């Protein structure tokens, strides 16, 4: 759902600014996107849905009516159990009003992800957010009062030194807000964003490696002491609060993405949609049923698909290593074809000491900070399977 009232200066995602989003047009385009997949892949009947994630943009701008339209559209095409479905929707504090949240709960949304990003007014102003710290706290209270017991908060760390904040205090406050899940993301300066251009021109200097690592490790320590499981590079959860939907990505399971810039994975293919909302909408209006694609990656509706790649062989091996090492499950070890780097990782504090069976490698928080480098080392020696 690509619409936002305001575009933040660090955001590289597919976003269309709209105070009053064209919800009906979006739902029509989503329906045609889904139907094109059903036609191309030759799916029949109503497949079973295990998890549903409505991301953005700002899905809370759908309100209750727009979310109901989406649920009805999906009910025509899928089956699910209201008890077993994990149904997550993202929301911003400024548009997550009580009426919307109560209606979402009635429609089956079981998990809300609030993009608060910070709990410091100065940091929020620098990030260009429309809410202040009290607005973030109030949004959490509204979610709880609406009956949600599975709430995630997004926080951004690694802001430039020019932005004064007490990061530890913010993490401790978030920890104490009666929520069960936190996602922490390091700030990045993508070239196509206003932040990226400021960095390129030398007007903003990003946080150095030391500050970035210190904030990440400090948050990990605070949350671990409070009983949160650091179950993936960026994600922390109390028992029973892990995101089932995200585990689908990390396990390499199939998923279907619809909407502008959405990605899908139907092994061995990864496919992504047209990026911009206006282009996606215009193409969707002209999509018609076509013959199935023999590879099942989009068929005659390829005009909705901006690109695709085939994941096999070494690419698949590298991806499985990377996805496995970014979670607490780690990866299974195979026969080493070269001297193993793992003992050195343990000495450096980057990997957990070998377990009784010595058949897996799991990284520590310090190891996750240098995960790309470690994956390359492991893949080079083909040490994992």
Alpha carbon distance 304, 238 (integer Å): 39
Instruction: Give bridge partners of residue 351 from the DSSP assignment.
Output: 363
pLDDT of residue 272: 97
Percent of the chain with pLDDT over 70: 92
How many contiguous H segments (helices) and E segments (strands) does the chain have?
A: 14, 14
Domain spans in the chain, listed from the N-terminal domain onward? 46-250, 313-381
Full-model pTM: 0.93
Say what the pLDDT of residue 381 is. 63
Total Cβ atoms within 10 A of residue 282: 13
DSSP 59: G
Least confident among 132-146, 176-190, 198-212, 366-380:
366-380
Strands 229-232, 235-237: pairing kind = antiparallel
Q: What is the CATH number of domain 46-250?
A: 3.30.750.200
E strand or H helix that includes residue 72? helix 63-75
Q: Which helix (H) or strand (E) holds 285?
A: helix 277-285
How confident is the prediction for the chain on average, in pLDDT?
92
| pLDDT at position 163 | 95
- Estimate the crossing angle of helix 23-41 against helix 277-285, to 10 degrees: 60
More confident residue, 226 or 44: 226
- Residue where the block lists tokens 């690109």: 307
SS3 45: coil
Cα gap 213→303, rounded to integer Å: 42
Average of per-residue pLDDT across 149-161 = 97
Question: What pLDDT digit, counting tens, does each position of 70-106 carry?
Answer: 999 999 999 999 889 999 999 999 999 999 999 999 9
What are 190-208's pLDDT values in tens digits? 999 999 999 999 999 999 9
pLDDT confidence of residue 100: 98
Per-residue pLDDT, 360: 85
What three-state secondary structure class fits 33?
A: helix
**Higher pLDDT residue, 283 or 385?**
283
Kindly state the average pLDDT of the residues 226-252: 97
Instruction: Collect all residues with Cβ–Cβ distance below 8 Å to 127 and sequence separation of at least 6.
Output: 8, 9, 10, 117, 118, 156, 159
| Burial label, 239 (beta-carbon count in 10 A; 0-12, 13-18, 19+) | exposed
Q: Provide the token pair at 107.
A: 């429609």
State pLDDT tens for residues 272-328: 999 999 999 999 998 754 433 434 454 444 489 999 999 999 999 999 999 999 999
């Amino acid at each position: 759902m690509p619409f936002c009232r305001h575009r933040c200066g660090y955001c590289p995602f597919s976003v269309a600014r709209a105070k009053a989003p064209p919800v009906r047009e979006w739902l029509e385009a989503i329906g045609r996107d889904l139907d094109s997949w059903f036609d191309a892949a030759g799916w029949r009947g109503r497949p079973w849905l295990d998890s549903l994630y409505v991301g953005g943009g700002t899905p809370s701008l759908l309100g209750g009516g727009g979310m109901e339209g989406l649920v009805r559209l999906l009910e025509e095409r899928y089956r699910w159990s209201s008890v077993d479905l994990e149904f997550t929707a993202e929301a911003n504090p400024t548009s997550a009003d009580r009426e919307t949240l109560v209606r979402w709960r009635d429609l089956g949304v079981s998990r809300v992800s609030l993009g608060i990003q910070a709990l410091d007014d100065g940091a929020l102003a620098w990030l260009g957010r429309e809410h202040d710290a009290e607005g973030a706290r109030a949004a959490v209270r509204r979610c709880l009062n609406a009956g949600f017991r599975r709430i995630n908060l997004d926080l951004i760390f690694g802001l430039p030194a020019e932005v004064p904040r007490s990061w530890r205090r913010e993490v401790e406050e978030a920890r104490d807000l009666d929520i069960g899940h936190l996602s922490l993301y390091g700030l990045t300066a993508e070239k196509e964003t206003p932040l990226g251009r400021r960095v390129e021109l030398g007007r903003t200097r990003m946080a150095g490696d030391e500050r970035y690592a210190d904030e990440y490790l400090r948050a990990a320590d605070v949350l671990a002491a409070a009983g949160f499981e650091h179950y993936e590079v960026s994600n922390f959860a109390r028992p029973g609060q892990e995101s089932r939907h995200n585990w689908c990505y990390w396990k390499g399971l199939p998923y279907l993405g619809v909407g502008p810039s959405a990605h899908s994975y139907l092994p061995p293919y990864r496919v992504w949609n047209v990026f911009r909302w206006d282009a996606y909408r215009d193409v969707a209006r002209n999509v018609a049923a076509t013959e199935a694609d023999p590879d099942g990656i989009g068929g005659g509706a390829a005009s909705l698909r901006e690109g695709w790649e085939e994941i096999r062989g070494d690419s698949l091996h590298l991806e499985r290593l990377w996805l496995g090492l970014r979670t607490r499950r780690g990866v299974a070890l195979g026969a080493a074809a070269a001297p193993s780097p793992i003992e050195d990782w343990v000495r450096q504090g980057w990997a957990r000491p070998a377990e009784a069976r010595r058949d897996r490698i799991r990284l520590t928080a310090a190891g996750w900070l240098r995960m790309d480098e470690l994956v390359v080392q492991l893949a080079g020696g083909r040490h994992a399977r």
